[in-house]
Amino acid sequence: MAQSQQQLQFAYWVPNVSGGLVVSNIEQRTEWNIEYNKKLAQTAEKNGFSYALSQIRFTAGYGAENQHESVSFSHAILAATEKLKVIAAILPGPWKPALAAKQLATIDYLTQGRIAINVVSGWFKGEFDAIGEEWPDHDQRYARSEEFIRTLKGIWTTDNFSFDGKYYQFKDYTLKPKPVQQPHPEIFQGGTSRAARDMASRVSDWYFANGNTVEGIREQIEDLRAKAKQNQHQVKVGLNAFIIARDTEEEAQAVLQEIIANANPEAVNAFADATRQAGAASPEGEGNWAKSSFEDLVQYNDGFKTNLIGTPEQIAERIVAYKAAGVDLILAGFLHFIEEVEYFGQRVLPLVRELEQKQQQAKEVA
Ligand SMILES: Cc1cc2nc3c(=O)[nH]c(=O)nc-3n(C[C@H](O)[C@H](O)[C@H](O)COP(=O)(O)O)c2cc1C
């Protein structure tokens, strides 16, 4: 089936760090403990979500004072579910590819092929300094991540793997057993900078974009796919969105205003400082948060920009507009995760599926 004919997929952010998905003192009925997360994962897989994305943080950033480690937390969620795929965030630097390949192959075996990886390149210098990790400059961080991905793929798919890179070396290495998933567990990656997109156009299976308008994401996807085509590579796109679905538009907008009115200015400003070192540090100055305002940063991946805020009908229409622009997956954050994942599955998703069918029929007639 051609990519455009496939149904849109849905992922949710795993709240494995404290403070939820917004840097705000608003009341959130979201917990970061494992009991809550198991129940959330079970609710999500019953309500049409096919992926969950865990986060990796070694120190606090954007609030997030407490952080559970991503790979072990992802495994616990997988053990509590049956169909959901969990994408574990891994940071080259603290992780070496030999360990990541082995660790994820074992989790793939234990979960009958349901682990995936998000290779994050690092944006927070303070975190790297605190744990004694080297902080290569922006584009070198991506050069290292690209070697990380190339070596993962090599180890997962071939015997007697050899590699002589700047950051990693392997000599006649054979991993046994190989992962269950063929050719290998899916590899995701995020970022907005030139280096991030170029890496995706060469080696990643999926590219995660920060929140954006339909026009903004269309341009980004055209750029990404044109480059990928030159490299004879295919890359799918996941778009971040903070979803506020309520019975009326007024209610949904009021929630957004309350989140922003209760923003924690100290944490948002500290985050803004850290992102300047990340985004502005890319040579072309087009990094992840280069165009983010204070309000945007209250959701730390620009999730309000996607504007999935309103009634189920409004949100479903906007979601299929994103699909028409080339998006394959919506990565969703919520204020009160469990109850809103359920509301989304029951009230929004059926409308999305109807509209997708109409969109498809219209295309076939044209
Ligand atoms: C959806 C998504 C999830 C991310 N998850 C993490 C994470 O868990 N930990 C982390 O340190 N960085 C994470 N990042 C940050 C990216 O890996 C990257 O460092 C950042 O987007 C800066 O990109 P830039 O090259 O555009 O400046 C995430 C980014 C996106 C878009």
Residue having the nearest C-alpha atom to atom 14 of ligand 1? 120
Residue 127, pLDDT above cutoff 90: yes
Q: How large is the average pLDDT for residues 201-223?
A: 97
- Digit-coded pLDDT (tens) for 322-336: 999 999 999 999 999
Higher pLDDT among residues 286 and 82, named by residue: 82
Residue 143, pLDDT above cutoff 90: yes
Tell how far the Cα of 210 is from the centroid of ligand 1, in angstroms: 9
What per-residue string of b and e applies to 141-174 under the rule 16 or more CB within 10 Å gives b? bbbbbbbbbbbbbbbbeeeebebeeebbebeebe
Residue having the nearest C-alpha atom to atom 15 of ligand 1? 120
Residue 59, pLDDT above cutoff 70: yes
pLDDT at 270: 85
Residue having the nearest C-alpha atom to atom 9 of ligand 1? 56
CA atoms of 356 and 51, how far apart (whole Å): 20
Using a 6 Å CB cutoff, which residues line ligand 1? 55-56, 89, 91, 118, 120-123, 190-193, 195-196, 208, 210, 240, 278-279, 282, 287-288, 301, 331
Residue 168, pLDDT above cutoff 50: yes
Tell how far the Cα of 301 is from the centroid of ligand 1, in angstroms: 8
Residue-averaged pLDDT of the chain: 94
Residue 28, pLDDT above cutoff 80: yes
pLDDT at 312: 98
Mutate-to-test residue for ligand 1 from 32, 123, 208, highest number of ligand atoms within 8 A of CB: 123
Ligand 1 atom nearest residue 119's Cα:
17
- Digit-coded pLDDT (tens) for 230-251: 999 999 999 999 999 999 999 9
pLDDT at 281: 59
Tell how far the Cα of 343 is from the centroid of ligand 1, in angstroms: 28
Instruction: State residue 98 phi and psi, 5-degree precision.
Output: -60, -45
Q: Provide the pairing of β-strand 244-245 with 309-310.
A: parallel
Q: How large is the average pLDDT for residues 179-184?
A: 98
Length of the chain: 366
Domains of the chain, each with CATH number or no CATH: 7-359 (3.20.20.30)
pLDDT at 294: 85
pLDDT at 63: 82
Tell how far the Cα of 247 is from the centroid of ligand 1, in angstroms: 32
Q: How large is the average pLDDT for residues 59-78?
A: 94
pLDDT at 4: 46
Q: How large is the average pLDDT for residues 121-134?
A: 94
User: In percent, how much of the chain has pLDDT > 70?
Assistant: 97
Q: How large is the average pLDDT for residues 23-34?
A: 96
Residue 149, pLDDT above cutoff 50: yes
Tell how far the Cα of 176 is from the centroid of ligand 1, in angstroms: 31
Q: How large is the average pLDDT for residues 187-203?
A: 97
Element (H, E) at 46: helix 34-46
CA atoms of 265 and 134, how far apart (whole Å): 30
Tell how far the Cα of 288 is from the centroid of ligand 1, in angstroms: 8
Q: Which residues contact 215 (CB under 8 A, 6 or more apart)?
A: none
Nearest to 184 by CA among 147, 205, 153: 153
Q: How large is the average pLDDT for residues 46-52?
A: 98
Residue 179, pLDDT above cutoff 80: yes
Task: State both tokens at 126.
Answer: 């303070």
pLDDT at 277: 67
Q: How large is the average pLDDT for residues 53-81?
A: 95
Higher pLDDT among residues 254 and 4, named by residue: 254
